[in-house]
Amino acid sequence: MTELLQKVRMIDPVSEIDELSDVLIADGYIREVASHISDISSDTQIKDCQGLVLGPGLVDLYSHSGEPGFEERETLLSFLQAAAAGGFTRVSILPDTSPVIDNPALVAQLQQKRGGQGEQGEQGGNFSPLSPPSPLSSPLPLLHLWGAITVDIAGKQMTELADLASAGVVGFTDSKPLENLALVQRVLEYLQPLGKPVAFWPSDHQLTANGVMREGTDALRFGLPPIPTSAETTAIAAMLELVAAIGTPVHIMRVSTARSVELIASGKATGLPITASTTWMHLLLDTKAVKSYHTSLHLDPPLGNPSDVAALRAGVRAGVIDAIAIDHTPYSYEEKVQAFAEAPAGAIGLELALPLLWQYLVETEEFTALELWRALSSNPAECLGQKVSAIIPHQPAELTLFDPQQTWKVERKSLYTLSQNTPWLGQQLKGHVVQTWC
């Protein structure tokens, strides 16, 4: 099929371009990009894209799938459909499924299941009766799997890292902080020749204790157990020392404090091979939002104080924080209907992140469109050791078309994810993905 996108706002962080263009797409490739394209075949589908935004497909560094083990939260198919509906063309699943992704057989099984679902998820999926009835128009994104670093609950025994690397995992991480620094040191030494990304979530469990909210005046006002900034920063400082000693590149996940941004900036300034990410909700909300006690605002790490949010935003713009991750974490209604401190931490986000980030960061002119799109596409790809193609002729069409003005309501019938744990449930949003090419 041949499609001509006329007068679309093309945002290309690879080529540093933000301009109106015509874009011709045929047989999965970009055929022509010009200010005006008129020489087209009679069967070309012409789309008037005035007011729409076209950019490279979005890339999610890490998110959670319910399947295998917790299909009532999310199936692999619903996860991929939600990602496609949110503009993502590549997604990476964390290994904390049940069973954990810690062996080549499970990697092969999940890759085969994704392949069996086809571009539109026609086969091999488990549809929930609550799923939206409308079929997904965009192809399902490319699925990457993170391999687990450890195999036991105590976090003392490494997985067969080389076997997992050969099986095709995108990299290695655990969905819990690793506090055994001797083990972290061995992991970094062992992974150095494998050439796969390794990501760590820096958090000191002893300092976190039973806390559920970032330490500060709001935590005192709301009567919730606090988590000090040092729970994150001491773990980051230790990680930076290990990276300096060993030299293995490391990705630092879930950065949430202003002091963490300073530490990472200092490490990068000395040439340490590190990258970092924060999550989309940590860029939008701060501790004041917890006043509602909405359990979907119980995150781990917790939402930061206003100074943390300001530092994170500045860090993304400056490139100290390389990427924005979604960290989509679905939970069933029953799991989240508890007291704030008792509810499991996490919220969904694949279908919400781009509209809300655009609305509150780009439309307010705090971010340029290029800055936001870079942090959601080319930069997270680079953190995975991958590349995103520029929007130029002869390149594969891995693209996202976004309407920043389209309004829609966040409700069960408008979501492809099976879970509804989001503070934006029932609210009207502005901005919606029109189509992806993958």
- Which of 161, 209, 150 lies closest to 189, judged by CA? 161
Residue 410 is encoded by which pair of tokens?
């966040």
Which amino acid does the sequence have at 25? I
Residues 319/337, Cβ–Cβ less than 8 Å: no
Q: What angle do CA 310, 424, 66 make, to 5 degrees?
A: 100
Through-space distance between the first and last CA atoms of the chain, rounded to whole angstroms? 14
Measuring CA to CA, which residue among 97, 120, 54, 35 is closest to residue 390? 54
Buried b (16+ CB within 10 A) or exposed e, 388-425: bbbbeeebebbbbbbbbeeeeebeeeebbbbbbbbbbb
Looking at the chain, the number of H-run helices and the number of E-run strands are 14, 17
CA distances from 430 to 86, 309, 360 (A): 13, 22, 10
Q: What does residue 56 show for φ and ψ, rounded to 5 degrees?
A: -55, 150
The CA–CA distances, whole Å, from 152 to 38, 148, 171, 268 equal 61, 10, 19, 33
Question: Residues 12, 322, 327, 403: which is the catalytic one?
Answer: 327
Tokens in use for 249?
Answer: 């590149």
Q: How far is CA 185 from the centre of its chain?
A: 27
User: Is 152 noted as a catalytic residue in this protein?
Assistant: no
DSSP assigned state of 324: E
Any residues with CB less than 8 A from the CB of 64 and at least 6 apart, and which? 74, 93, 94, 96, 175, 327, 328, 329, 330, 346
Is the CB of residue 233 less than 8 Å from the CB of residue 196?
no
Determine the Cα–Cα distance for residues 256 and 288; give it in Å rounded to an integer: 15
Query: Is-contact 282 312, C-beta < 8 A?
Result: yes
Active site residues: 327
